[in-house]
Amino acid sequence: MSFDGAFREPWVAVGQESAGELEGEALTEIGPDHQLAGERLQAIARCTGCGNVVYRLSDGTFAMVHLTWSRTMSEQSPWPSTTRYGSFLAIELGMDQHEH
């Protein structure tokens, strides 16, 4: 599946240059007991108004993750806060309903 980057504000598409940083931070924060532990994450969009990032997961589903930017260690579950979505249509709706 390809993402054309046409997201509604305050969401913007994640370019390759920032995807690695967003994916790396998520992997740093996600502890072994987190619901996303062991998942391969692909950053596709981020909110310009807060720390939320949308990731495509290795199983083809999506997750909206609120990064804490601790940068040094995994967080205690349930952090980073995560909402999972089963389809791209569902994550688009979640992004549209997102409030800060």
pLDDT single digits (tens) 21-44: 999 999 999 989 999 999 999 999
Domain count, the chain: 1
| Position 2 confidence tier, pLDDT thresholds 50, 70, 90 | very low
Closest CA to 50 of 92, 9, 93: 9
- Answer yes or no: is pLDDT of 99 > 70: yes
Q: Which domain holds residue 63?
A: 11-97
Residue 6 belongs to a domain: no
pLDDT single digits (tens) 64-82: 999 988 776 777 777 899 9
Q: What is the pLDDT of residue 80?
A: 92
Residue 1 belongs to a domain: no
> What is the pTM assigned to this prediction?
0.89
